[in-house]
Chains A and B, each alone.
Chain A
Amino acid sequence: MALSDPDTYPYRSHHDMGGLPAAAVVPAEHDYAIWEKRVDAMLVLLGNRPEPLVRTDELRRNIESLGSDAYDRMSYYERWIFSIAQTLIQRGVITVDELGRRIEQVSARDSAHD
């Protein structure tokens, strides 16, 4: 079974990338921004309770559901926050409307400060 031959399997999810051709590894790393650390913290807190609100598996599955273009263009923690939001919407912890209004509110506040 040749992985390069798309006829050998019906489809590939974009995240399942083991063995695909890719460029040289660039040993780059960046210091995490505060928003990124907060996203990480949120996932830990949401999962680390007797009744987790977001399981690692749900996080992964919602990230995997991103289209390939979005997956590639979004940064690691952008994918995480997207997925956390999706999971909490799926579970009914927040609603789409609540999230939309809060984003609206925060954006207005931030641009007022510019």
Chain B
Amino acid sequence: MTDSRCMSDAGAVRFRPGDRVRVRVAYPIGHVRTPLYVRGKPGIIERICGTFPNPEELAYARAGLPALPLYRVRFLQRDLWPDYAGHPADVLEAEIYQHWLQAEDISR
């Protein structure tokens, strides 16, 4: 994702419920609401929560605009933890901001 694309269409909703996504692998310094344990993991959009000012900016007393789309992403627990011992259908759902998500190519 280039910087200019980030700025111009950051607020546009890219994903719909059911879309397969993957959390980006990135380790920025600073205030981030994408936990380590989901980075790089595949998931499915469960719902669009709405658009909200970016917490990564609000944390520094900046406005956090434009508001960014926030999604609930559903992950299979067995995709998150190599040793997951519960039911294979067990899931974890977390709210992830759009700029942390990339479309997952289902032909992979």
Interface residues of A (CB under 8 A from B): 1-3, 9-12, 16, 18-19, 55, 57-58, 60-61, 64, 87, 90-91
Contact B58 A57 (CB under 8 A): yes
Residue of A nearest to B64 (CB): A57
Which chain B positions have C-beta within 8 A of A3? 36-37
Majority secondary structure of chain A interface residues (helix, strand, loop or mixed): loop
Smallest Cβ distance from B97 to chain A, in angstroms?
12
Contact B27 A61 (CB under 8 A): no
Tell me the complex Cα distance, A17–B52, Å: 24
Q: Which residues of chain B have a CB within 8 Å of any CB of chain A?
A: 25, 27, 30-31, 35-37, 39-40, 55, 58-61, 64, 80-82
A18 x B27 contact (CB < 8 A): no
Chain B hits for A91, CB < 8 A? 61
Contact A9 B27, beta carbon cutoff 8 Å: yes
Interface of B is mostly: loop
Contact B82 A2, beta carbon cutoff 8 Å: yes
Which residue of the partner chain, among B25, B27, B58, contacts A55 with CB atoms under 8 Å?
B58
Report how far A11 CA is from B35 CA in the complex, Å: 12
Report chain A residues within 8 Å CB of B30.
Answer: 61
Q: List 26 A-B contacts (CB under 8 A).
A: A2-B82, A3-B36, A3-B37, A9-B27, A9-B36, A9-B39, A11-B27, A16-B35, A16-B36, A18-B37, A19-B36, A19-B37, A19-B80, A19-B81, A55-B58, A57-B55, A58-B60, A60-B31, A60-B55, A60-B59, A61-B59, A61-B60, A64-B31, A87-B61, A90-B61, A91-B61
